[in-house]
Amino acid sequence: MKQIRQRLAVVLSLCMIWSTIVSAGTSMAMASSAASGSFAKVTDERKMELAPGANYTWNNMELPQGQEKVHYVEFDPKNPSLDLQPGMTDGKVYGMAGVTKMADNADKAGNRVIAAINGDFYDMTTGVPLGLFMGDGEILVSPPPKWDWYAYGLKKDGTSIYGLSPELKRTLHIGGKDYEISEINRMRENADKLSLFTSTFYTSTKTNDIGDEVILDVLSGEVKSGSTLKLKVAEIRKDKGDSPLAPGKVVLSASGNREPQNPRVN
């Protein structure tokens, strides 16, 4: 960041808080309506058990506009042997891979994949999801602008939630001053942004040199809603991009007018 002049021992904090909660609902509304025939005639239905507590259904239907097929999996999220996990490319947000490849990457002893679906729209050049992306409570990609996209998820108690994406307040605190974080794990491009990148994004930030980046050690906290990260500056990279990302570290990337101006450290 162009105006940062503090020593490498500076400690920063980053706080993330949801300001809007999505509404509760059920994920199987469309499939249930199809099966009941409320808007379609089911001409063929096949079922099979994928695993204890998880069932796959295939419906052939006739709709006013023509033939339709619906494939869906039903499972009880409260079943401790079953889990809904995010699909990524080799464990990273950035990158392109098909659903089968993502499933193969996640499949291992003690974590067998029994079904996989496309769950989000994404940038066709980077593979980065356009909507909110989370896994086990970790914010993998921050929500898009308020009211732009819908989101679906599961709570710890197994209940499902869906609705308009929540608004996430992201605040960087430096020496008594607060700065808004624009995004988490999204492409910075050349806009006026102050972005946070974690090791889940990729092996580097994939940014250009039009801006500054600061590599920070994570002293405590997690990238989760309601959590505060305590960070220590490890390296300041002036007019440099594509900083390396590694576990236990994050990178703040600034460009344009979003760069903190002359923050003082207490």
Q: What is the DSSP string of the chain?
A: -TT----TT-EEEEEEEE-S-PPB--TTHHHHHHHHTSSSEEEEEEEEEEETTEEEEEEEEEETTEEEEEEEEEE-TT-TT-------BTTBSSS---HHHHHHHH-BTTB--------S-B-TTT--BSS-EEETTEEEE---STTS-EEEEE-TTS-EEEEEPPPEEEEEEETTEEEE--EESS--TTSSEEEEEETTT-SB----SSSEEEEEEEEE--SBTT-EEEEEEEEEETT----B--TTEEEEEEEGGGS--S----
Q: Is pLDDT of 15 > 90?
A: no
Say which range, 58-62, 85-89, 138-142, 254-258, has the weakest mean pLDDT.
Answer: 254-258
What's the mean pLDDT when you consider all of the chain? 83
Rg (CA), the chain: 22
* Residue boundaries of the structural domains of the chain: 1-22+76-266
Q: Is pLDDT of 25 > 80?
A: no
211: left (phi over 0), alpha (psi -120 to 50) or beta: left
Confidence class of residue 9 from pLDDT cuts 50, 70 and 90? very low
Confidence class of residue 17 from pLDDT cuts 50, 70 and 90? low
| pLDDT value of position 263 | 38
HSE value, Cβ hemisphere, 13 Å, CA-based, for 98: 2
Burial of 124 (0-12, 13-18, 19+ CB in 10 A): exposed
Mean pLDDT (whole number) for 38-53: 89
pTM, to two decimals: 0.80
Q: Is pLDDT of 30 > 80?
A: no
Confidence class of residue 6 from pLDDT cuts 50, 70 and 90? very low
How far is it, in rounded angstroms, from Cα 164 to Cα 151? 6
168-215 residue pLDDT tens: 888 999 888 999 999 999 998 877 889 999 999 999 999 999 999 999
- pLDDT > 70 in the chain, percent: 82
| pLDDT value of position 125 | 94
Q: Is pLDDT of 52 > 50?
A: yes
> Is the Cα torsion angle 212, 225, 22, 118 positive or negative in sign?
positive
Burial 53-89 (b: 16+ CB within 10 A, else e): ebebbebebeeeeeeeebebeebebeeeebeeebbbb
155 vs 113, residue with greater confidence = 113
Q: Is pLDDT of 11 > 60?
A: no
Mean pLDDT (whole number) for 101-123: 91
Is 11:230 a contact under the CB 8 Å cutoff? Answer: yes
| pLDDT value of position 262 | 44
Confidence class of residue 88 from pLDDT cuts 50, 70 and 90? very high
Confidence class of residue 142 from pLDDT cuts 50, 70 and 90? very high
| pLDDT value of position 257 | 74
| pLDDT value of position 222 | 94
